[in-house]
Amino acid sequence: MRYIKKNPQVTIVGVTGSVGKTTTKLAIAKVLEQRFKVQAHPGNYNNEIGVPLAIFDLESPGDIRNLRGWMGVVREMNRRLRKPLPYDVIVQELGAGRRGDIRYFSFLRPRIGVVTAAKPAHLQGFGSIEAIVDEKFSLAELSQIALVNAEEERFAHKLTTMDASKLHTYGTSKGDYRYSIRSYSAADGLEGTLVLRKEKADVSVRLVGRHMAEAVAAAAAVGELLGMTPDEIKAGVERIQPVSGRLSPLEGRNGSLILDDSYNASPEAMIASLNTLYELSGRKIAILGGMNEMGSDGAKYYRDVGGHCARLDLLVTVAELARQYVGPAKEAGLGDDKIRCFDTPYQAGEFVAGLLKSGDRVLVKGSQGGIFCEEATAKLLANPEDTARLVRQSPYWKNLKANAFNNKRQGT
C-alpha cells in the first residue's frame, strides 16, 4: 500500500484472533495514547476492503453497489496520499475467514503482531480448528515482534517454533506480561496487579467479564514494547472502556442491567459471557441468537452452549439457528416454562421488555449475519439515547435490517 510505504515512520500494530480483536485493539490504543498520536478505527474494519478504509480513517459508504459513494472514497484516499500520515502508531485489527487471509495483509509490515485466540469460529471456511490456529498464528510469524496470548493452549506448540528473540507472551496467570485479577464484580470491574518486565502496579479497570483481563495485559505489553514508562501504561490501562457490543453494560428498563454482547458469537465466547451473567445477583435472562459458520461440527457446539444455559431463569432464542440451544438446555434441566423462541430480535426484545423488573440481569448475544441481536437490546434500554452505543446503527445497517425482517415483523 502506497500510504504505508510513503510513511515509514509510522508504527503498525496488527491484532488478530478468533475473539477479542476489537476490544484488544482499542485497549492497546488507549494505552498508547498516553504518549503517541494513535489511529485505531472504532469499528471492525478488518477485511480486504475494511483495512484500507481504517488506515485512511474513512467510513464505508455501505452497499458495494454504491458507485458514487465508493468513487468519493477513492478521491479522498488520493487526496490524503499527498499528505503525511498524522499518526505515530496505527493499531489495526486483521480478520480471517479462510486460509491465507492474514498473509494478504503482509504489506502492512507490522512492527508488533498481537494474536489473541484461536477458537472454533468461521469453521465453515477453515475446515478445522488446526487451520484456524495456523492462520491466526501467521501474524506472529510475519511481524517483527510477536505478542501471543499465553492463555490460549492451542498456541502452545506454535510457541516452541518461534525465534525466542522476537517472541513475547501475555495473559492473566501465564506470560511475560500479565494482569493478575485480585477481585472482580460486574458493578466495579476488575482490580488486579499489572506485571511488566521489571515492575508491578496495582490497577483497576472498569470492564465486565474476567476474560477482559487478557486485553488489559496485551495493551500493557504493547506499551512497554514501544518504550512507554510504567506510569504511562498504568494511566492508559485505567482509561480502558467497554466496547460497543462486547459485554457493554447498559441501564435497562425498570432498574435492570443489560449486558450487550450483541456484536458476534462463537461457542467459547458464548460460554464465557454466560459465566459472566451467572456471577451476577438477580434474575438471569439470556437473549441468544445463533452462531454462524460452525461447519460440520455445529451440532456439537450448539449442544455445549445449550447445556450451559441450564442455570438461566429465562432463555429467549432469536431466529431458527438458535432453536438448537433448546433441546440441550432442557436435557440439562431447564424447564419448558423458562424457554421462549422468536423469529426476530424485535419480537424477542419486546417480549423481554414487558417482563423486566428491578434487579434483572439480561445478556444479549448472537452472531451478526442475519440475526442482529442488538435490535433486541434496543427494546430493553431505559434511555433511548443509549441506542447510539449499540453496534450496527448506521443508516446502511438500519436499512439492511429493516428489509431483512420486514415480512416477519408484519406477521407478528
What confidence tens digit (pLDDT) does each residue in 325-370 have? 999 999 999 999 999 999 999 999 999 999 999 999 999 999 988 8
Residue 123 lies in a domain: yes
Contact 172, 180 (CB under 8 A): yes
pLDDT reported for residue 122: 73
Same domain, 208 and 264: no
CATH code of the domain covering residue 329:
3.90.190.20
Average pLDDT, the chain: 93
pLDDT reported for residue 281: 94
What domain range includes position 123? 2-237
Same domain, 43 and 159: yes
pLDDT reported for residue 396: 80
DSSP secondary structure of 99-166: TTHHHHGGGG--SEEEE----S-SHHHHSSHHHHHHHHHHHHHHSSEEEEETT-GGGHHHHTTS-TTT
Residues in the chain where the model's pLDDT stays below 70: 1, 407-412
Number of domains forming the structure of the chain: 2
pLDDT reported for residue 1: 66
pLDDT reported for residue 407: 55
Same domain, 12 and 143: yes
Residue 382, judged by CB atoms within 10 A of its CB (0-12, 13-18, 19+), counts as middle
pLDDT reported for residue 293: 85
> What percent of the chain clears pLDDT 90, i.e. is strictly above it?
81
Looking at 237, 259, 278, which one is the last position of a domain?
Answer: 237
Same domain, 217 and 253: no
Looking at 191, 210, 237, which one is the last position of a domain?
Answer: 237
Contact 302, 324 (CB under 8 A): yes
